[in-house]
Amino acid sequence: MARVSGEFGKFHWDGLAVDADSFAASGDGPITAVKADGLHTEIGLGGLSRGVWEVKSSNIRRLEIFVDATKPAKSSTGDRAKKSKTNKTKRSSWFPSQAELQGIDVGHVDVRTSLDGGLATATGMSIHAEKAGAQNAFRGEITGGVVRLPFGIVPELRLDRALLRYQDKRVFLTKAKVAAWQNGSIEGSGEWDMETRQFSVEGNATGVRCDDLLGADWSQHLTGDVSSDFIFENSSGTPAASGKLVIRNGTLTALPVLDLLAAYADTRRFRVLTLNDARTDWQWKKDEIVLTNLVLASEGLARMEGGIVIRRKSLDGKFLLGLAPGTLATIPGAETDVFLPGEHGLLWTTLRITGTLDDPQEDLTERLIAAAGLRMFELVPETGEKVIRFTRSVIGESPNKVIEEGVKIIEDGSKVVREVSGILDGILGKEEPEPEAK
């Protein structure tokens, strides 16, 4: 079945039962190597009338399987022709020429698979398999173990239970349940064609938190409970995944573009947004995540719709941003030139997001400034710097520069107060405090 050729260690017979310390094999198919330790099986005679040896009560203490899914698929035409020719050969005696595996138990299984994206491993599993009716058809159950994939989108998976079926060089995953992240649960089903190396798994994930999926910086901005369905396959030649994701109990906190709106509108309502609708369609492939049909909405206040491509760390997003009427009334021209009436009773404008995950950029600020003209600016008396109203951010200067200017003003003010206080003390003849007793 595995298309490997190998050698057993020495057989130790006890009647029709036999033990072997080891088995090692290799092959040029998808399964490149097999290693096993602590083998035991028994030979049954009940299949002699059917021309087979019955292999039953089989178990293996430890099994290692090595798979290379990067090799190009080979045609099996020659193998079928060879098999057909063998079947036509007339038997010379009643002696069985085939073995029929009734079932097997493996205490510890490790599988290492080379994929185009790197190495995938499944370690520490236990397997029970048994005959499933048709010739060379089996059903099995896998329990325990840890699965690690070479894709950043998928964390370490802790296997609970998986039910499988094998027939005609195809492996069918009828049901699987695994734990992921801290409290996440993933259920799925799928299949793997050993001839073409193609696989497909679909299912759903629940109990996932936003901070499980997001980096340390962005997890501070978006919180909530995530659920998503998914399809993970390689029909295009490389692994890819897609699905629909929903966030419940979501909250947006201190998102840069919303902080800007909060500053311009002289309100704190945008600092923390409770989301009543948060969802997106997503696609993933190596080094790229595409979000489409994305919706982030806080009822009666703000709504964002659109999509974004995250390629490595670069951002390219196009959105429609809707705000409640009156939100930006304090900014001249904002609600007439930049935002226009639209759906959901909101005022809408376009929003472009570029830059990187570490330094996102947006185009709304420049358009608000252009609409408001000089009415958006005022002078800070202490420094004479021209600033955007409400933000107190010096144009062309970083926030750190603004903070440094402010600290300098406070320090200079404190110095003046101390000097004036000293002069007044001298004029009024303030008594010196008595020294403390030692």
How do residues 18-55 score in pLDDT, each as one tens digit? 999 999 999 988 889 999 999 999 999 888 888 888 99
pLDDT digits (tens, 9 = 90+) for 324-343: 998 888 777 888 889 999 99
Helical H segments across 52-166, by residue range: 77-88
Average pLDDT value for residue range 254-276: 76
Average pLDDT value for residue range 306-332: 90
Average pLDDT value for residue range 139-154: 88
pLDDT the model gives residue 242: 96
- Cα separation of 365 and 83, whole Å? 72
Closest CA to 236 of 197, 202, 205: 197
Element (H, E) at 12: strand 11-14
pLDDT digits (tens, 9 = 90+) for 209-221: 998 888 767 777 8
The set of long-range contacts for 304-308, using a CB threshold of 8 Å and a minimum separation of 24, is: 304/351, 306/351, 307/280, 308/353
pLDDT the model gives residue 384: 56
Q: Which of 16-25, 73-82, 114-123, 324-333: highest mean pLDDT?
A: 16-25
pLDDT at 390 over 80: no
Average pLDDT value for residue range 372-399: 53
Determine the Cα angle at 336 with ends 330 and 339, to 5°: 90
Average pLDDT value for residue range 281-293: 93
pLDDT the model gives residue 164: 95
User: Beta strands 222-233 and 11-14: pairing type?
Assistant: unpaired
pLDDT the model gives residue 414: 41
Q: Are 158 and 173 in contact (CB under 8 A)?
A: no
pLDDT the model gives residue 111: 95
pLDDT at 289 over 80: yes
Look up the pTM and report it. Answer: 0.73
Q: Between these two residues, 136 and 383, which has the higher pLDDT value?
A: 136
